[in-house]
Amino acid sequence: MSHIKNLIPKTVNPDLVKERTGAEFNVEEFAAWWHGGQEKLNTKREIERAIFSDLEDGYGLNHEYMSHEDVYNSSVEKVAKAAVKLKALQNKINPGGNDIWPGLLYNVQSHGLFPSNHPLATHITMFVDVIKGQGTPEQVEKWGKAAENCNIIGTYAQTELAHGTNVRGIATRADFDPKTDEFVLQTPNLEAYKWWPGGLGHTANHAMVVAQLYIADVHHGVQMFIVPVRDAETHMALPGVDIGEVGKKLGMVAVNQGFLGLDNVRIPRTNMLMKFAKVERDGTFKASPASRVNYLTMVYTRCLIVNLTSTLLLEAATIATRYSAVRRQSPIEPNQPEPQIIDHVTQRLKLFPEIANGMAYHLAAEHMWEIYAQTVQEANSGKFDRLPDMHILSCALKVLCTTDGCAGIERLRLSTGGHGYLTAANMSNIYGNAVAAYTYEGENTVLLLQIGRALVKAWAAFVEKKPVSASYGYFASSMQLKQFPKWDNSWQCIIQALQYAAAHKTRIAFENLAERMASGQSQGVAANNTGIELARAAELHGRQFVCQTFLEQVTGAKAQKRSAALNKVLENVLELFLVQTLLNNMNDVLRFISLTDADLKSLQKRLEVALDNFRPNAVAVCDGFGFHDRVLNSVLGSYDGNVYPRLFDSAKRSSMNQKPVQKSFETYLKPLMKANL
């Protein structure tokens, strides 16, 4: 344990005090807006007081010095104890709700409660919700309530050792046996082992297994099956089940991802989720009314991913911004005192665009949740028209948010210099938790190609003057222009430029694909050879959507409910985001739009002005995100800004510093030092 705890001041670093008093808006108003209203903000704070106040000293750092096995067991202990506390808190604050229990197992407060992660997140976010979303009322009654209460623990087992994003390539089979009214599940080879499901290793006793359905050896597509995998009392693997953990990873230390092999494992017919597709007692198969209904699960998960990644990005931005306001280095004027490094323009360029990115993706995710709710409501009424569009938009948002988020977190880590390399800064954990999302629930390049194929399909319909969905509405508005209008520097002009470039990139991808097929290439080969163009068109399609959504969220009807001061700050963030996005994609924009040197100089100037205007409000905006110190878990990003005492305190906590001399000294180091080599 540290011997210098009393060296951490009870006061706030004067530089942070100065930053907060110099803010040009009311932080409390920002926080209330960000969290969906003052009542929700107050509830959040009440919850955090209840769950964080009694955590022991060193709670957020002790796991760093544990063995792999001990980290897992410690995390299970934490989540089991937290469950009792969270359930009681739910009954006290919001009886009948699920925002605290089980909501706090996967929302932002979980980052503070479970600093090494925990193995129940997949159970709560996927296993439970898939049952509720795609199970019959009888199935929801049987498994849903038990799962919500953690009487059974499940996971979602789709990815296989040799098959990930390509769901159609999954090799696990489920054959219907009409004699026994059962499905027989089989992993045909090593490559078909389920691989990566969270909590599968040693935690879950049920798995939502995604498998190819066969009836009388006739294939009926991919379906989902609830499969018990461990004994309810002993937790030993059931007969025919080969199960374990995949091993240590870059991040997500205690998530306990696992593998699963099934050898003639039998389950009742009623264990297949049948809200949409059905298998009758006599083996009759009734197809889902919409072939893409299973995408609802992935759409839901991708919305969660955007929420998570934007949150992690903003956590890293808060840490780096507070540190940059405290750290002083490299005089700007010779013979002058060292300034706060946040006063270096190059440092601002590392920090502020990431805050803007995090806010843009957060607001885009909120918009997507609204669309998702409408999509589910329509699906429950038998209407599935919105599903394909929702799928493509969620793919685009997932790709962009995880790509930009992971790059941004690493950029922010680098902005904190050497201290950011320490585990106690928590930047490495934040990155490790975020970067996995680049791959899971659809590897990003594969998703871009899916979007690209949807774009050229929509373009074909557009060319043939057939109706296209609203998300492709910019095709018509862009192609009606013989050339892009004179640049007027407006926000709408920036978005129109991105849409114009996206439309023409889609056109080029479509034309090149058609040309390759006309030359004799098969559709598959032609699509593969057009992959670069398809992916780039897909990225621009997503970026124009995020920009348009951000503009509407900041300047639309909701702005009337905010003060002029807050709107001014948000408009500055919007300005920074739009200008930076345009500059980052200028190679494609200039291919289709003639901008003058004066236009380009103007954009560069706007970037610099936006950075300068955001400077007085940077720390206060980060405060407005409301990340509790337990959530940030960083010696560099604490609210009080006492960076150096906390750095030294964390060093003293190292397990190696609990002994004055390590055992290797007498055994190896001392003989080496006395040897005559």
The residue among 58, 300, 71, 315 whose CA lies nearest residue 201 is 71
Helix/strand/coil for 25 = coil
How far, in Å, CA of 140 to CA of 138, rounded?
5
Q: Are 221 and 213 in contact (CB under 8 A)?
A: yes
- Quick one: pLDDT at residue 2? 46
Cβ neighbours of 677 (radius 10 Å): 3
Q: What does the H/E/C string look like for 118-171? A: CCCHHHHHHHHHHHHHHCCHHHHHHHHHHHHCCCCCCCEECCECCCCCCHHHCC
Q: Are 407 and 317 in contact (CB under 8 A)?
A: no
Q: Are 487 and 532 in contact (CB under 8 A)?
A: no
- Quick one: pLDDT at residue 555? 97
Tell me the torsion sign for CA atoms 419, 421, 426, 430.
positive
Q: Where are the beta strands (DSSP E) in 389-497?
A: none
- Quick one: pLDDT at residue 1? 43
Which residue in 48, 245, 410, 441 is the catalytic one?
441
Q: Are 24 and 613 in contact (CB under 8 A)?
A: no
- Quick one: pLDDT at residue 291? 58
Question: Which residue has 């009393």 as its token pair?
Answer: 6
Helix/strand/coil for 277 = coil
What domains are there in the chain, each with its CATH number? Answer: 14-114+295-438 (1.20.140.10), 121-289 (2.40.110.10), 449-615 (1.20.140.10)
How far, in Å, CA of 482 to CA of 496, rounded?
14
The residue among 78, 69, 156, 157 whose CA lies nearest residue 117 is 78
- Quick one: pLDDT at residue 167? 82
Residue 425, token pair as written in the block = 């800064």
How far, in Å, CA of 564 to CA of 569, rounded?
9
Enumerate residue ranges in the chain where pLDDT < 70.
1-5, 290-294
How far, in Å, CA of 90 to CA of 286, rounded?
40
Q: How far is CA 468 from CA 289, 391, 458, 499, in A?
A: 22, 15, 6, 16
- Quick one: pLDDT at residue 296? 76
Q: Are 376 and 296 in contact (CB under 8 A)?
A: yes
Q: How many residues does the chain have?
A: 677
Helix/strand/coil for 239 = coil
Residue 215, token pair as written in the block = 């009836």
**How much of the chain is in helix, strand and coil states, percent to nearest 5?**
60, 10, 30
Biggest CA–CA distance in the chain, Å, is 89
Q: Which residues contact 656 (CB under 8 A, 6 or more apart)?
A: 662
**Based on the number of CB atoms within 10 Å of its own CB, is 561 exposed (0-12), middle (13-18) or buried (19 or more)?**
exposed
Q: How far is CA 352 from CA 27, 294, 347, 513, in A?
A: 17, 39, 9, 39
198: annotated binding-site residue? Answer: yes
Question: Which residue has 């163009």 as its token pair?
Answer: 533
637: annotated binding-site residue? Answer: no
Q: Which residues contact 81 (CB under 8 A, 6 or more apart)?
A: none
Radius of gyration of the chain (CA): 27
Q: Are strands 206-215 and 173-177 parallel, antiparallel or unpaired?
A: parallel
Q: Are 371 and 279 in contact (CB under 8 A)?
A: no
Strand order in the sheet with 258-262: 194-195, 258-262, 241-245
In this prediction the pTM is 0.95
- Quick one: pLDDT at residue 381? 84
- Quick one: pLDDT at residue 166? 80
Is residue 441 annotated as part of the catalytic site, yes or no? yes
Tell me the torsion sign for CA atoms 311, 207, 144, 441.
positive
Q: Which residues contact 459 (CB under 8 A, 6 or more apart)?
A: 472, 475, 506, 507, 510
Q: Are strands 194-195 and 258-262 parallel, antiparallel or unpaired?
A: antiparallel
How far, in Å, CA of 288 to CA of 296, rounded?
13
How far, in Å, CA of 528 to CA of 449, rounded?
9
CA angle, 263 as apex, 120 and 215 as ends, to 5°? 100
